Amino acid sequence: MFSHPDIRNMQIQTKLPKVGTTIFSVMSQSALEHKAVNLGQGFPDFEPPEALRDAVARAMAEGRNQYAPGIGLPTLREQIALKTERLYGHKVSADSEVTVTSGGTEALFSAIAAVVRAGEEVIVFDPAYDSYEPAIELQGSRAVHIPLQAPTFAVDWQRVRDAITPKTRMILINSPHNPTGAVLSSADLEELAAIVRDTEIVVLSDEVYEHIVYDGAQHESVLRHPELAARSIVVSSFGKTYHCTGWKVGYAVAPKALSAEFRKVHQYLTFCTFHPAQVAFAEFLASSPEHYLELPAFYQAKRDYFRSLIKPSRFKLLDVPGGYFQLVDYSAISNKDDVSFCEWMVKEGGVAAIPLTPFYEQAPGTHLLRLCFAKSDATMEAAAERLCKL
C-alpha cells in the first residue's frame, strides 16, 4: 500500500536561511522581561492626533468596514497627489500613480517583487533596514551591499559606480536614513541620476521619514528630481508621520508604467488596506496639513531635549540630521561587541537599544547603538537617568 510521507518528518528547506526573529522584536521582548525603558524599536509612545483617532472611529460607526478599493480610496489618493505636488513640486495622477498600501513594508515588498527578477541584483546601503534583503532574496535575486561612510554615513558614489553590473536592476535608497539619521542632499541625487542615466535601473526610494528633517533642511525627495522621479518608486508611511505605526498604512508613488506593475503584486499580496483609516487620513490630510508641516519642529524639540539629557553620560552622541533615532558610541563604557552590549544594557542598565550589526552584511566592528527618541519627555527622562549611570 502507498504510504504518504509524514509531514512531521519532512525537512522544510528554508528560503530565507539568514532570517531569524528581527532584532526589534527580540529587544522589545527583552525590554518587557527586564522592565527596561524601551528606546529600541522605533515607535512613538504617545498617541496619534485625537481628531484622527475620532475620524477612524466615526468611519467604523458609519459602516466603512468592508474592502476598500484595491489601489486605495480615491479621496485619499487625491490628497496624497495634492500633498506631493505642494511639497515636492511633482504633479502625479491620483488614478494611475498613487497606490495606498498596508504600511511602508508592504510597499517595499511589492516594489521589489514587481521589478526585480531571479538572478538580478539590487544595490542596498549598509546599515540597511532589515526588510530589504529578505524581500530581495525571495525573488531569487541578490542584494549587493555597499557600506555607508561613518561617522556621517554619506554614500560613496564611486563605490556605487563600481558595483553596477549588467545584472543591476534596482538601487534602494533611504533618506532620512534608519538607523543613522543621515539625509541625502540634492548633490547626492545628481550623482545617483548620473549613475542610472542610460540604464534600466529602477530607484526604490524609502522616504518613510520624509517629514522628519532638522535644522531647517529640506527633505530631498527623489520626487523633486524629474529625471529620477521618472524611474523611481517612492515609499511613504502614515505610521511614521501620524504616530500610528500599528495601523500599517502607507503608500507608493511611481510613474504610470511602474505603478501598473506595482499594483499587480499589491493586488495579490494584500488587495487593499484598512478601510476606516483611509477614510480618516483622507479627511485629516485635507483638514490638518499643519500636522506634517510642523513635524520637523515637533521632533527637533524631542531630539534636542534627549541630547541634552544624555550629554552628561559617557556615551558619545553622533549628529542627527533626520529621522527619530540617536546613534551613540559606547566605547568609553565597554569594548563588548554591539549585540552583547545591548543585551547587557537591557538587563543591567535598564534601557533597551538596537545594535547596528544586524543592519550589516558584514559586522562593522563599531561600538554604536541606536536609541529612539520618539518618546514622551517622561520616557526620555527615565531612560536618560539610567544611561547617565553607565
* Residue ranges in contact with ligand PLP by CB under 6 A: 42, 103-105, 129, 174, 178, 206, 208, 237, 239, 245, 248, 250
Coarse DSSP helix, strand, coil percentages of the chain, rounded to the nearest 5 percent = 40, 15, 40
Q: Which helix (H) or strand (E) segment is 301 a member of?
A: helix 295-310
Nearest to 389 by CA among 354, 329, 358, 345: 345
Residue nearest to ligand PLP (CB): 103
Kindly state the smallest distance separating residue 321's Cβ from ligand PLP, in Å: 15
Kindly state the smallest distance separating residue 132's Cβ from ligand PLP, in Å: 8
- Please, which residue, 104 or 349, has the CB nearer to ligand PLP? 104
- Please, which residue, 125 or 315, has the CB nearer to ligand PLP? 125
Assign residue 109 a region (left: φ > 0; alpha: ψ between -120 and 50; beta: otherwise).
alpha
Kindly state the smallest distance separating residue 237's Cβ from ligand PLP, in Å: 3
- Please, which residue, 103 or 181, has the CB nearer to ligand PLP? 103
Q: Indicate the SS3 state at residue 98.
A: strand
- Please, which residue, 174 or 366, has the CB nearer to ligand PLP? 174
- Please, which residue, 121 or 206, has the CB nearer to ligand PLP? 206
352 strand-pairing partners: 38
Contact yes or no for 296/346 (Cβ under 8 A): no
- Please, which residue, 127 or 350, has the CB nearer to ligand PLP? 127
Contact yes or no for 263/253 (Cβ under 8 A): no
Cell numbers for 286: 485635507
User: Positive or negative CA dihedral for 167, 168, 170, 174?
Assistant: positive
- Please, which residue, 208 or 222, has the CB nearer to ligand PLP? 208
How far, in Å, CA of 163 to CA of 318, rounded? 28
Q: Indicate the SS3 state at residue 173.
A: strand
- Please, which residue, 212 or 333, has the CB nearer to ligand PLP? 212
Nearest to 278 by CA among 86, 44, 90, 103: 103
Q: How many CB atoms lie within 10 A of CB 273?
A: 29
Kindly state the smallest distance separating residue 10's Cβ from ligand PLP, in Å: 33
How far, in Å, CA of 24 to CA of 355, rounded? 10
Kindly state the smallest distance separating residue 159's Cβ from ligand PLP, in Å: 21
Kindly state the smallest distance separating residue 103's Cβ from ligand PLP, in Å: 3
Kindly state the smallest distance separating residue 255's Cβ from ligand PLP, in Å: 21
Kindly state the smallest distance separating residue 273's Cβ from ligand PLP, in Å: 11
- Please, which residue, 105 or 357, has the CB nearer to ligand PLP? 105
At how many degrees (to 10) do helices 275-287 and 50-61 cross? 130
Kindly state the smallest distance separating residue 138's Cβ from ligand PLP, in Å: 17
Tell me the CA distances in angstroms from 70 to 20, 102, 263, 267, 272, one per residue in order: 31, 11, 9, 6, 4
Cell numbers for 189: 541625487
- Please, which residue, 240 or 367, has the CB nearer to ligand PLP? 240
Kindly state the smallest distance separating residue 336's Cβ from ligand PLP, in Å: 25
One-character DSSP codes across 104-147: HHHHHHHHHHHH--TT-EEEEEES--TTHHHHHHTTT-EEEEEE
